[in-house]
C-alpha cells in the first residue's frame, strides 16, 4: 500500500514539516511506500494530485482550509475519489477540521489516520470551483482572504474582527434572483451562504437538525439588506444559527442545487478563498465525491447510514 504526505509550509504553525520522520515512522506501520510533497505555491497541490492522486491508497494533507480545498479539487479532477484523504488542520480557522474533530497535534492526528474510518463525503461546486464546506458572497465574506497573513499569524481568529471592523459601516448589498426547484426568490441581500457544514470562519453554527455530510443536501442562508439591523442579523446567525429567535429577514432553505443571477457581477469565495466574480453562479452538490478518514464517533454524528 502507498501513502503520500502533502503539507503547506505557510499554513499556521506548521508541525508536519518538523515531524516528518515521526510521520513516516507511524505510517510505515500500515503503508509499504511513503512519498512526501511540499506545496510550492497556489494550485501546486491541485496540479500534483490531479496527476498522481489515484496512484495512492492514502493522501495525508496538512494545511488550512485552502490547502484542503486544493487537495479536494485535485482528487476530484484526477479521478482519485476512492483514495482516502486524511487531514491534519494547520491553518487559522480550520473549519472542516473543527467540525470533524480532527487533531492538530501530529501524534494524535496520526492515530486517526491509522485507526479512523474512511467514509464518502459530499462536495459542492460553484460554477467550476469545488468547495468542501462553504461558498459565500456579500458583506464580510472576503475577510478570510483579504486579512493579511501576518495579522492572522499573530492574532489568530481575532485578526478577522480587527480587519473586518470597517465592514460594519458599509452599506454594500446585492440584488439577487435565486432559483431552485420550482421556486424563485428575488430581493436585496447582505449575505449569501451555501453551507455543507456547521462551522464557518471559526464559529460553530448551531442547527436545529444535525448536518449530514453525505445526504446530498446543503443549507442556503440569505440575510436581507433591509433596515439598519442587517449587521446584527449576520451576528445573530453566527452565534445562534437557525436557532436564532430574531429570524425576521433571514431565510434558510435546504437544497441540492440552485442558480443565482445578480444585477451586476459579485465576488464569490469558496472555503474562505476568493473564487471568481460573476453575475451568474450555479451551485450544486456532488454526492460521495471524496473519501475522507474521520474518527469513529464523528462518522456516527455527521454521516448518515445508507
Domain membership of residue 201 (yes or no) is yes
> Per-residue confidence at 245, pLDDT binned at 50, 70, 90?
very low
Distance CA(219)–CA(236), nearest Å, equals 17
> How many residues does this entry show for the chain?
306
CATH of the domain at 25: 3.40.50.10330
Task: Say if residue 134 is in the same domain as residue 280.
Answer: yes
Domain count, the chain: 2
Domain membership of residue 154 (yes or no) is yes
| Range with the poorest average pLDDT among 53-57, 84-88, 207-211, 293-297 | 207-211
Residue with the three cell numbers 483514495: 83
Distance CA(150)–CA(186), nearest Å, equals 40
Asked if pLDDT for residue 158 goes beyond 70, the answer is no
Distance CA(74)–CA(76), nearest Å, equals 6
Domain membership of residue 122 (yes or no) is no
- The three-state secondary structure class of 51 is helix
Asked if pLDDT for residue 233 goes beyond 60, the answer is no
- Using the Cα atoms of residue 53, residue 97, residue 116 and residue 110 in order, give the sign of their dihedral: positive
Structural domain boundaries, residue 283 = 129-287
pLDDT digits (tens, 9 = 90+) for 164-211: 555 555 556 899 999 999 999 999 998 899 999 988 776 777 666 778
35: alpha, beta or left? (left if phi > 0; alpha if psi -120 to 50): beta
Tell me the pTM: 0.84
CATH of the domain at 165: 2.60.200.40
> Per-residue confidence at 231, pLDDT binned at 50, 70, 90?
low
Domain membership of residue 60 (yes or no) is yes
Distance CA(244)–CA(233), nearest Å, equals 9
**260-263: Cβ within 8 A, 24+ apart:** 260/137, 260/176, 260/177, 260/178, 260/192, 261/176, 261/177, 261/178, 261/179, 262/174, 262/175, 262/176, 262/177, 263/174, 263/175, 263/176
Domain membership of residue 292 (yes or no) is no
Amino acid at each position: 500500500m502507498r501513502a503520500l504526505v502533502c503539507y503547506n509550509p505557510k499554513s499556521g504553525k506548521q508541525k508536519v514539516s518538523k515531524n516528518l520522520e515521526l510521520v513516516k515512522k507511524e505510517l510505515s506501520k500500515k503503508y509499504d511506500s511513503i512519498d512526501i510533497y511540499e506545496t510550492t505555491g497556489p494550485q501546486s497541490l491541485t496540479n500534483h494530485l490531479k496527476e498522481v492522486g489515484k496512484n495512492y491508497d492514502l493522501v495525508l494533507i496538512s494545511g488550512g482550509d485552502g490547502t484542503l480545498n486544493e487537495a479536494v479539487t485535485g482528487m476530484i479532477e484526477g479521478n482519485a475519489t476512492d483514495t482516502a484523504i486524511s487531514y491534519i488542520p494547520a491553518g487559522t480557522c480550520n473549519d472542516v477540521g473543527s467540525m470533524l474533530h480532527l487533531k492538530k497535534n501530529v501524534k494524535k492526528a496520526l492515530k486517526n489516520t491509522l485507526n479512523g474510518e474512511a467514509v464518502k463525503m459530499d462536495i459542492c461546486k460553484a460554477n467550476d470551483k469545488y468547495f468542501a464546506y462553504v461558498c459565500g458572497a456579500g458583506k464580510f465574506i472576503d475577510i478570510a482572504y483579504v486579512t493579511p497573513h501576518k495579522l492572522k499569524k499573530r492574532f489568530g481568529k481575532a485578526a478577522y474582527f480587527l480587519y473586518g471592523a470597517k465592514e460594519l459601516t458599509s452599506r454594500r448589498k446585492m440584488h439577487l434572483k435565486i432559483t431552485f426547484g420550482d421556486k424563485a426568490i428575488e430581493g436585496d441581500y447582505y449575505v449569501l451562504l451555501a453551507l455543507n457544514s456547521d462551522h464557518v470562519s471559526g464559529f460553530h453554527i448551531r442547527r436545529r437538525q444535525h448536518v449530514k455530510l453525505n445526504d446530498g443536501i446543503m443549507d442556503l442562508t440569505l440575510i436581507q439588506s433591509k433596515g439598519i439591523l442587517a449587521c446584527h442579523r449576520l451576528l445573530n446567525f453566527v452565534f445562534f444559527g437557525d436557532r436564532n429567535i430574531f429570524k425576521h429577514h433571514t431565510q434558510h432553505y435546504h437544497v441540492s442545487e440552485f442558480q443565482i443571477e445578480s444585477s451586476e457581477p459579485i465576488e464569490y469565495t469558496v472555503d474562505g478563498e476568493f473564487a471568481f466574480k460573476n453575475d451568474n453562479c450555479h451551485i450544486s452538490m456532488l454526492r460521495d465525491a471524496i473519501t475522507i478518514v474521520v474518527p469513529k464517533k464523528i462518522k456516527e454524528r455527521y454521516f448518515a447510514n445508507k
